[in-house]
Amino acid sequence: MDALFLGHAYIDVTMLTDEMPAGDEKSVAKDYAVSFGGNAVTAGFACAKLGHDVHILTTQARDWLGHMFADMADLYGVRLHPRKVARSSLSFVLPNDGKRAILRARDDNYLQPFLRLDISNARLLHLDGHMADAALHYARAAREKGVLVSLDGGALRPCIEELTGFVDVAVVSKKLCEQMSFSETDMLAWLKTKGCRIGAVTVGEKGTLWYDADGVIQHLPSLHVPKEKVIDTSGAGDVFHGAYCASYLARPEAPWRAHFEYARAASAHKVQHLGNEAGLPTQADIAAAMAEFPEGLRLEMAD
């Protein structure tokens, strides 16, 4: 096991349409994709496609969507450690002009305790804050064993503040900043007080504000993908997380700026494809994005 990813699993149905029917209307979508979904889950699949031995501890039901999810994991060589629920979770994703609307049905009423795995030989643990009891257990275990702990802080979830105290690399969203009434720089300062060695706030097309071990806040612009090439931004953040995890596993001695530069290129690839699976990059795809797309505007940082 190179890495354990822990979070909630979905099946995502992504539909590309110019209009949404209302009332008693009908409409025909231009295209669709069916894929695995969920923050840490998608990150795990991205990391696996980039060549790493990935295990995922996640929800799974014994229904036809659950069987579909298991088949997807088999295809990518991902080892699943299921926590049983009665029904699979489902997301309808509607990309729209560089943004996306999402409608979810989620079952997080667990029918069993989470599995206790030996992570002594793992090198990375990635969490998205779901399954708080399992997340806290594994974050503590990873800290004790010297395993790097990465957090996708996409939203305010139970135990997120306690969990952050065991995190080495925290990459959070602008949404979490808003939910906690923090500015982006306030959030970075808070992550420092929690002991996170690397902290970052993603701000969409504006890129990432982050600090490394020296504590200095920096701005990493996103890569500029022309508007006409952007098809579906959903999952781009999850691919970002999976890619920096993969980069760390491949080059643990490299600076974190290099890992984040690799990850932003992975995201630039993702947004050009419909659905999570189609948007998972290969090493060649990431290299191509780095070569093709220039950096966006750089923010001026206050001294």
Mean pLDDT of 146-160: 94
Rounded to a whole number of angstroms, the CA Rg of the chain reads 18
Beta carbons of 37 and 235 less than 8 angstroms apart = yes
pLDDT confidence bin for 149, thresholds 50/70/90:
very high
Q: How many domains does the chain have?
A: 1
Asked whether residue 288 is assigned to any structural domain, the reply reads yes
For residue range 6-26, list pLDDT tens digits in order: 999 999 999 999 888 888 888
Comparing 19-28, 246-255, 289-298, which segment has the lowest mean pLDDT?
19-28
CA 18 to chain centre: 27
Asked whether residue 68 is assigned to any structural domain, the reply reads yes
**Greatest distance between any 2 Cα atoms in the chain:** 58
The span from the CA of 38 to the CA of 45, in Å, is 10
Q: Identify the helix (H) or strand (E) that includes residue 96.
A: strand 90-96
CATH code (residue 127): 3.40.1190.20
Asked whether residue 300 is assigned to any structural domain, the reply reads no
Mean pLDDT of 67-93: 98
What is the predicted pLDDT for the residue at 240?
98
The span from the CA of 187 to the CA of 190, in Å, is 5
Identify which of 163, 171, 131, 166 has the alpha carbon closest to the alpha carbon of residue 148.
166
What is the predicted pLDDT for the residue at 302?
53
Beta carbons of 79 and 55 less than 8 angstroms apart = yes
pLDDT surpassing 80 at residue 300: no
The span from the CA of 178 to the CA of 46, in Å, is 28
Beta carbons of 272 and 32 less than 8 angstroms apart = no
Asked whether residue 266 is assigned to any structural domain, the reply reads yes
Asked whether residue 154 is assigned to any structural domain, the reply reads yes
Asked whether residue 226 is assigned to any structural domain, the reply reads yes
What pairing do the DSSP bridges indicate for beta strands 54-60 and 148-153? unpaired
Domain range holding 221? Answer: 3-20+29-292
Q: Which residues contact 13 (CB under 8 A, 6 or more apart)?
A: 32, 33, 34, 90, 91, 92, 93
Question: Structure pTM?
Answer: 0.95
Asked whether residue 276 is assigned to any structural domain, the reply reads yes
More confident site: 296 or 224: 224
Asked whether residue 298 is assigned to any structural domain, the reply reads no
Mean pLDDT, the chain, whole residue set:
95
